[in-house]
């Protein structure tokens, strides 16, 4: 009897409710329609998930950002469990925005390291690997006991800025010391100088006092880069300092637009000229202000999914990264 090697397993993409628009664009870029899945809430709020097609033996990709509310995370866990019990061959959790990543260390007594807890929950639910983008700190990858593929939205942003922004008078700025590696990556690929702001955060999600600029921005256009925008305090105050030091225009590039509370209004009314976000987090239309421009990361995530499915390198997507991020 002759045994033939099995052909590559079929890939199927499914979306949770937090990432429907992005997932649809990812599927389009991947060349397939999203798979059929039913997700609903019972009257008491419990989440119910059912795959409406056979996924036995398939390479399953579940797309869901885990931004607030926490139901988005729970929904992802239940999707993973349902896929495992339906005998999926491999389950990859595609998490464009990984929530709880800012709780990555014990910086005070008697606090949780919630990022590690969430990583454990996803693995325990049955995920075989993770595809994430611009984690708050790259060390988060070490929280997982399963493989993590990490994408950088800067590939999309840099391409856009090279085509659409005058870089002859541009300086890239980091809003704090923690963002220097990301800012350095932008500065190197955009071939611009790099400066850094220093800040003091009074308390979580409260006023940020930016008090020192390291570098010169006099007469320059400044691109302030960060991985996410939550309340907007860091960027708004940073832009004020940059203007006070002689900057002509301040632009912002941030991957994840969390935009909690009145952040969208705060940013719209700030001295920032324009803000560029990815579509990793779906936000309501009333938070999409005139100064905001959204760049889709669907092609990047689709390429990541393709490479995982075909067992090809992810790092080859970012040859310029080297050891800097």
Question: Which residues are known catalytic residues?
Answer: 199
What is the C-alpha to C-alpha distance for residues 62 and 15, in angstroms, rounded to an integer?
A: 6
Question: Would you give the DSSP letter of residue 109?
Answer: T
H/E element, 81: helix 71-85
CB 150 within 8 A of CB 138: yes
Does the bond joining 312 to the residue before it have cis omega, within 30 degrees of 0?
Answer: no
Q: At which residue do the structure tokens 């850094």 appear?
A: 196
Cβ contact 233:267 at 8 Å: no
- Provide φ and ψ at 230, rounded to 5°: -105, -85
Instruction: State CA 21 to chain mean position distance.
Output: 15
Kind and range of the H or E run holding 115: helix 114-125
CA–CA distance from 113 to each of 104, 123, 178, 272, 322 (Å)?
5, 16, 18, 34, 29
Question: How many angstroms separate the CA atoms of 100 and 133, rounded?
Answer: 14
Of 267, 15, 255, nearest in space to 135 by CA:
255
Q: How many residues does the chain have?
A: 325
Report helix, strand or coil for 37: strand
What are residue 223's DSSP bridge partners? 172, 251
| Nearest alpha carbon to residue 52 among 78, 83, 26 | 83
């Amino acid at each position: 009897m002759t045994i033939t090697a099995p052909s590559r397993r079929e890939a199927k993409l499914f979306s949770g409710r937090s990432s429907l628009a992005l997932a649809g664009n990812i599927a389009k870029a991947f060349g397939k329609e999203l798979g059929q899945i039913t997700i609903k809430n019972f009257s008491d709020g419990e989440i119910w998930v059912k795959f409406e097609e056979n996924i036995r033996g398939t390479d399953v990709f579940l797309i869901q950002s885990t931004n607030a509310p926490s139901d988005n995370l729970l929904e992802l866990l239940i999707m993973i469990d349902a896929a495992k019990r339906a005998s999926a061959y491999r389950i990859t959790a595609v998490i464009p925005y990984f929530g709880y990543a800012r709780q990555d260390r014990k910086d005070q007594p008697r606090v949780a390291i919630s990022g590690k807890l969430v990583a454990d929950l996803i693995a325990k639910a049955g995920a075989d690997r993770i595809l994430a983008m611009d984690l708050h700190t790259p060390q988060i990858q070490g929280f997982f006991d399963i493989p993590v593929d990490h994408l950088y939205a800067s590939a999309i942003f840099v391409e856009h800025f090279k085509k659409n922004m005058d870089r002859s008078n541009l300086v890239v700025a980091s809003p704090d010391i923690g963002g220097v590696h990301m800012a350095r990556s932008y500065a190197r690929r955009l071939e611009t100088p790099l400066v850094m702001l220093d800040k003091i955060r009074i308390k979580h999600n409260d006023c940020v006092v930016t008090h020192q600029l390291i570098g010169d921005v006099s007469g320059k256009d400044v691109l302030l880069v960060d991985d996410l925008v939550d309340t907007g305090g860091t960027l708004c105050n940073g832009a004020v300092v940059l203007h006070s030091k002689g900057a002509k225009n301040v632009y912002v590039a941030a991957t994840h637009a969390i935009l909690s509370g009145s952040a969208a209004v705060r940013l719209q009314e700030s001295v920032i000229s324009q803000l560029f976000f990815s579509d990793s987090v779906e936000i309501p239309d009333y938070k999409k202000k005139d100064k905001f421009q959204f760049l889709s990361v669907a092609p990047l995530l689709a390429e990541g999914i393709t490479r995982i499915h075909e067992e090809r390198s992810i790092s080859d997507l970012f040859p310029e990264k080297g050891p800097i991020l």
